[in-house]
Chain A
Amino acid sequence: MSGYRVVHCGPLMLRLHKRRAMLCLFLALVLLMAAVLALGAGGTTGWSAPWAGGQGKVLWDLRLPRLLLALVCGAMLGLAGATLQSLTRNGLADPGLLGVREGASLAILVLLFFLPTAAPELRPLVGLVGGVSVVAVTVLLARGGIERMRFILIGIGVSWFLSGLIALMLVAADVTMMQTAMVWLAGSLSGAAWSSVRMAALCLLIGGVLLFGTARAGDVADLGDHLGRSLGVSMTRLAVVRVAAAVLLTAGCVSFCGRLGFVGLIAPHLARLSVGGGQGALLSASALWGAVLVMVADTVGRVAFAPIQIPAGIVLAVIGVPVLLGLLWCRRDRF
């Protein structure tokens, strides 16, 4: 079969698609170079300086964790989006679809408002609980296959309902509280610290292992329910594992940097267009594209109008909306 190379490594035997592997490697290199550039971007002049140690300390304590968090969160969103699009067999699905994002946001807002003294390390846990409980409600209401339109509609409905609750909380809150909440909700990485990088990386690791571990079964599941089952894939168990991974990734991401829209929607499409291939390639490329998008958005937001910082989520929305419209236009025969 052309284009593949079989790789033996001890007991591990697999085959790689040469062109796709090279493309992913190339994407990773571009990402690395862009990351180095982003690390140097933006002078210290515009920064009010609460630190004393000079440029090295800026890099180590502020820019590096922020950059790493952008990369990790972008990869998380890319993976979650790719998974949800495959599961629902719908290219317009994204991590906001199942209400995970709103559920996690709402739970964290409640924490911010009612327990403002709580440790920030609690946020991801609370966000996770919020996200998981909303998905549980969506699944219960939808009763049935995740690829059905009913599921998507209920997810969208639940998301809107929760958005309403979030807006209500913001309106009722006092001004300083609202300011903090708004910046976080808009999808900002300005609060990045090493502790959040470590926790986000852990979420990414767990979600990534679950998704890459089930990638081959996912390939088989893409052939349809009946064929998947006759090839020996337990479809329900597979869907549960992959939904759980997507929820973990989304909720984790929301907890660290608020609602970053569009990444989860667009990264998988960019991956399909640039690399193509099965689940393994799709997941790898989506993670890389997600990381690129969030990092670029955060760097642009940080540098473009310095000293004013624009949250990455807003930069993404401004760039993301035209891209989405373009995507719909190009694929107008399919959606």
Chain B
Amino acid sequence: MPLSASPLSAQALQFSHGATPVLRDVSLLVPDGRLTVLLGPNGSGKSTLLSLLARLAKPSQGAVLLHGQDIHQQPTRAVARQIGLLPQTPLSPDGMTVAEVVARGRYPHQGLLKRWSAADDAAVAQALAVTGTSAFADRTLDQLSGGQRQRCFIALALAQETPILLFDEPTSYLDLRYQVEVMELIASLPRDHGRTVITVLHDLNFAMQYADRLVFLKQGRIHSVLEQVTACSAAQIEEVFETPVVRATHPQSGLPVFLPVSGGSR
């Protein structure tokens, strides 16, 4: 893949918490306009990799390149116009309405004098519409269900109008219905809106159904990258997650589904 088709890339990243290495020599090209899912067991470094890509932390060695330039050499604000993030646990400030929270996504586009513009209004309205949150735009966050709240924070990231979006386990703590709701929304972003999306997911089968591309991490290294989800085999999953699984095929989508083998934990 040529570098020009990859707006964001990691080059030989090393990162450690104190003396414990979390990422060792991780290199990754993120293709433009596709949904990349990071998968791997707990502690494999998925969230750390995502936070390095989001410029939340500095790698001890290596670099994250945004349009070919080291992300830490670029101004914070310029990066904020390129990369949006949905963290694992955003805080919802007291008494703020959905529209007010989403409007904060406009911060990197505003200035000391230009504090609100017609473009801000348009971006917020568009973000609310895409995420299906317009109907409760004037309600406060504490009046919403978990799925609705998660969609609001996705709307905030969309209002930021960045070509690249990073999501950190966007479906955790949600019921099945809301997981589907959120994943459908995320999958529509590259497809219908041309955004480049990278998300960490815990649920293997959700990853299989929605991803364009799978990146497996294990013990702080990239274990493998699959450009075709259908190429994913049971042996691969068993190797990464160290647990036996069987591969089935989703009767509707034809995509792989992995089921644990009961009593088979090694």
**Do A and B come from the same complex?**
yes
Q: Is A226 part of the contact surface with B, judged by Cβ < 8 Å? A: yes
Query: Interface size bucket, B side?
Result: 35 or more
Q: Is A217 part of the contact surface with B, judged by Cβ < 8 Å? A: yes
Measured in the bound complex, the distance between the Cα atoms of B164 and A256 in whole Å is: 52
Q: Is B117 part of the contact surface with A, judged by Cβ < 8 Å? A: yes
Nearest A residue to B98 via CB reads A1
Interface-facing stretch out of A183-191, A231-239, A318-326: A231-239
Q: Given A231-B108, A231-B160, A234-B76, A226–B93 Cβ distance below 8 Å?
A: no
Contact (Cβ within 8 A) A230 B54: yes
Question: B80: which A residues are within 8 A, CB to CB?
Answer: 230-232
Nearest chain B CB to A214 CB, angstrom units: 11
Question: B54: which A residues are within 8 A, CB to CB?
Answer: 226, 229-230
Q: Given A223-B93, A224-B87, A231-B160, A12–B113 Cβ distance below 8 Å?
A: yes
Q: Is B257 part of the contact surface with A, judged by Cβ < 8 Å? A: no
Question: A11: which B residues are within 8 A, CB to CB?
Answer: 113-114
Interface hub of B76, B93, B166 (most chain A Cβ within 10 A): B93
Our pick among B91, B92, B96, B107 for the contact of A231 (Cβ within 8 Å) is: B107
Q: Is B94 part of the contact surface with A, judged by Cβ < 8 Å? A: yes
Contact (Cβ within 8 A) B113 A230: no
Nearest B residue to A234 via CB reads B76
Nearest chain A CB to B82 CB, angstrom units: 10
Contact (Cβ within 8 A) A230 B84: yes
Tell me the chain B residues, 89-108 only, with Cβ under 8 Å from chain A.
Answer: 89-96, 99-101, 103-105, 107-108
Tell me the chain A residues, 144-158 only, with Cβ under 8 Å from chain B.
Answer: none
Question: B153: which A residues are within 8 A, CB to CB?
Answer: 227
Nearest A residue to B140 via CB reads A276
Q: Is A198 part of the contact surface with B, judged by Cβ < 8 Å? A: no
Interface hub of A213, A216, A217 (most chain B Cβ within 10 A): A216
Q: Given A230-B80, A232-B76, A276-B95, A219–B55 Cβ distance below 8 Å?
A: no
Measured in the bound complex, the distance between the Cα atoms of B99 and A277 in whole Å is: 12
Nearest B residue to A237 via CB reads B76
Q: Is A2 part of the contact surface with B, judged by Cβ < 8 Å? A: yes
Contact (Cβ within 8 A) B93 A14: no
Measured in the bound complex, the distance between the Cα atoms of B90 and A224 in whole Å is: 6
Nearest chain A CB to B155 CB, angstrom units: 13
Measured in the bound complex, the distance between the Cα atoms of B103 and A219 in whole Å is: 10
Nearest A residue to B162 via CB reads A230
Q: Mark A33-56, 1 if CB is under 8 A from B, else 0.
A: 000000000000000000000000
Question: B100: which A residues are within 8 A, CB to CB?
Answer: 277-278
Q: Is A287 part of the contact surface with B, judged by Cβ < 8 Å? A: no
Question: B95: which A residues are within 8 A, CB to CB?
Answer: 272, 276-277
Q: Mark A6-50, 1 if CB is under 8 A from B, else 0.
A: 100001111100000000000000000000000000000000000
Q: Is B56 part of the contact surface with A, judged by Cβ < 8 Å? A: yes
**How many residues on chain A are close to B (CB under 8 Å)?**
30
Nearest chain B CB to A215 CB, angstrom units: 10
Measured in the bound complex, the distance between the Cα atoms of B87 and A229 in whole Å is: 11
Measured in the bound complex, the distance between the Cα atoms of B89 and A39 in whole Å is: 51
Q: Is A291 part of the contact surface with B, judged by Cβ < 8 Å? A: no
Measured in the bound complex, the distance between the Cα atoms of B107 and A216 in whole Å is: 8
Question: A13: which B residues are within 8 A, CB to CB?
Answer: 113-117
Contact (Cβ within 8 A) B138 A227: no
Nearest A residue to B96 via CB reads A278
Contact (Cβ within 8 A) A227 B90: yes
Contact (Cβ within 8 A) A219 B116: no
Q: Is A80 part of the contact surface with B, judged by Cβ < 8 Å? A: no
Question: B99: which A residues are within 8 A, CB to CB?
Answer: 1-2
Nearest chain A CB to B235 CB, angstrom units: 36
Question: B83: which A residues are within 8 A, CB to CB?
Answer: 230
Contact (Cβ within 8 A) A2 B115: no
Nearest chain B CB to A144 CB, angstrom units: 14
Nearest B residue to A279 via CB reads B93
Q: Is B207 part of the contact surface with A, judged by Cβ < 8 Å? A: no
Q: Given A2-B138, A11-B113, A223-B93, A231–B104 Cβ distance below 8 Å?
A: yes
Q: Mark B111-144, 1 if CB is under 8 A from A, else 0.
A: 0111111000100110000000000011000000
Show 27 A/B contacts (Cβ-Cβ < 8 Å), sorted by A. Answer: A1-B99, A2-B99, A2-B138, A3-B138, A6-B116, A11-B113, A13-B117, A15-B115, A216-B110, A219-B104, A220-B107, A222-B93, A227-B91, A227-B153, A229-B76, A230-B54, A230-B80, A230-B85, A231-B80, A231-B104, A231-B108, A231-B160, A232-B108, A233-B107, A272-B94, A277-B95, A278-B93
Additional pairs, 14, CB under 8 Å, beyond known A1-B121, A11-B114: A1-B125, A2-B99, A2-B138, A14-B115, A213-B112, A216-B110, A220-B107, A224-B89, A227-B156, A229-B55, A230-B83, A230-B84, A233-B76, A272-B94
Give B residues with C-beta under 8 Å from A: 51, 54-56, 76-77, 79-81, 83-85, 87, 89-96, 99-101, 103-105, 107-108, 110, 112-117, 121, 124-125, 137-138, 153, 156, 160, 166
| 3 closest residue pairs by CB, A with B | A232-B80, A230-B85, A226-B87
